[in-house]
């Protein structure tokens, strides 16, 4: 669906040349929700704007649904962009127009016949749950309702791709969840490919299938969301995941422990099995649980346990080997003292 090949975007600023996007290559599949994560200045929004050529890449190629957008200009490019919807953090609704008129504006700009516009707008209002707000103005809406109008407007011309640039950053947690559920519904029911830019790992965890992590304009880690959450490779990925699943244990608790402290990560169905209790019984050990949680990512469990082990050293090593043979990842955080 979206093929990005060796794409770079260079900006000439008063302080010199800045690489907003640096030689990025990505493949985004049809019908998936793909998250691009990074801190401010990582290049993620620049990359997103290159996907629909709001900004033309300095080098590289970008293909959307089989069409190389970097080869298009003028009217062919305008027509290609109609198949790429986009929503932003700040909505950008026209305050002097009603909800109906805001959505209809996109259709009028695409020269859709007037008799088709009403039917299309009403269908979109029903999809985003705002049929009762048809004739009100943006100032009368909540933030979540404004974003729903923006989503309806982005869907007006039946796009194949929906780009979301920090679409939930200005919303409270409850409203964010409702907007994410709406995006998931749109993805599933309309088979629209969604590319979602965010700095919030909770957003990615909630609805994305695959993801890329960007830093200094480059993609430093990429893959299935579950895989990255369960086995992050880079320091930045670990930092982002820690913002969602915290393993911090008070230093006073750590100092009180005399045995080794280990972190055990269970992936898939084994996360719901009693591996820890089986291990403690089989090797005559005692376990002091310091942290434990089971996260659900794409409806698959990911179990994470941090505990102090007490018992003979040889038995502890046998126990850790046994746990690893049960398809778990074991990391010794601190040896026994």
**Tokens 């393993």, located at residue:** 247
What is the three-class DSSP state of 165? strand
Give residue for tokens 């320091």: 235
At 273, the pLDDT band (50, 70, 90 cuts) reads low
What pLDDT does 190 receive? 93
pLDDT category at 336 given cuts 50, 70, 90 is low
Rounded to 10°, the helix 99-109/114-127 angle is 130
pLDDT band at 111 (very low <50, low <70, confident <90, very high): confident
Mapped onto helix, strand or coil, the DSSP state of residue 181 is helix
Gap between the Cα atoms of 171 and 142, Å rounded: 10
| Sign of the dihedral defined by the CA atoms of residues 44, 50, 56, 59, in that order | positive
Per-residue pLDDT, 272: 59
What lies within 8 Å, CB to CB, of 205 at 6+ separation is 225, 229, 244, 295, 297
| Average pLDDT of the chain to the nearest whole number | 90
* List of domains in the chain: 2-242 (3.40.50.300), 251-334 (3.30.70.260)
């Amino acid at each position: 669906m979206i093929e990005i090949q060796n794409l770079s975007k260079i900006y000439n600023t008063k302080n010199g040349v800045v690489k907003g996007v640096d030689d990025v290559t990505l493949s985004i599949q049809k019908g998936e929700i793909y998250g691009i994560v990074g801190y401010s200045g990582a290049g993620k929004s620049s990359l997103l704007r290159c996907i629909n050529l709001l900004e033309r890449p300095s080098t590289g190629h970008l293909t959307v649904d089989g069409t190389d957008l970097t080869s298009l200009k003028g009217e062919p490019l305008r027509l290609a962009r109609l198949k790429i919807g986009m929503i932003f953090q700040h909505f950008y609704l026209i305050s002097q127009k009603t909800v109906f008129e805001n959505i209809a504006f996109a259709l009028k700009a695409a020269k859709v016949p007037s008799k088709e516009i009403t039917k299309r707008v009403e269908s979109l209002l029903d999809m985003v749950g705002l049929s009762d707000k048809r004739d009100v103005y943006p100032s009368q809406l909540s933030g979540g309702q404004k974003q729903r109008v923006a989503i309806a407007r982005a869907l007006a011309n039946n796009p194949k791709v929906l780009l979301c640039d920090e679409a939930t950053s200005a919303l409270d947690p409850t409203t964010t969840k409702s907007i994410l559920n709406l995006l998931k519904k749109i993805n599933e029911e309309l088979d629209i490919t969604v590319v979602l830019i965010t700095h919030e790992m909770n957003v990615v965890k909630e609805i994305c299938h695959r993801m890329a992590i960007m830093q200094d304009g480059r993609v430093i880690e990429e893959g299935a969301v579950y895989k990255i959450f369960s086995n992050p490779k880079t320091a930045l990925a670990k930092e982002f995941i820690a913002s969602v699943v915290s393993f911090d244990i008070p230093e006073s608790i750590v100092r009180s422990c005399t045995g080794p402290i280990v972190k055990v990560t269970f992936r898939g169905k084994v996360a719901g099995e009693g591996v820890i209790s089986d291990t403690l019984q089989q090797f005559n050990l005692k376990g002091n649980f310091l942290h434990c949680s089971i996260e659900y990512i794409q409806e698959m469990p990911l179990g994470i346990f941090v505990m102090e082990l007490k018992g003979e050293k040889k038995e502890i090593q046998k126990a850790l080997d046994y746990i690893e043979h049960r398809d778990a990842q074991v990391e010794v955080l601190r040896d026994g003292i």
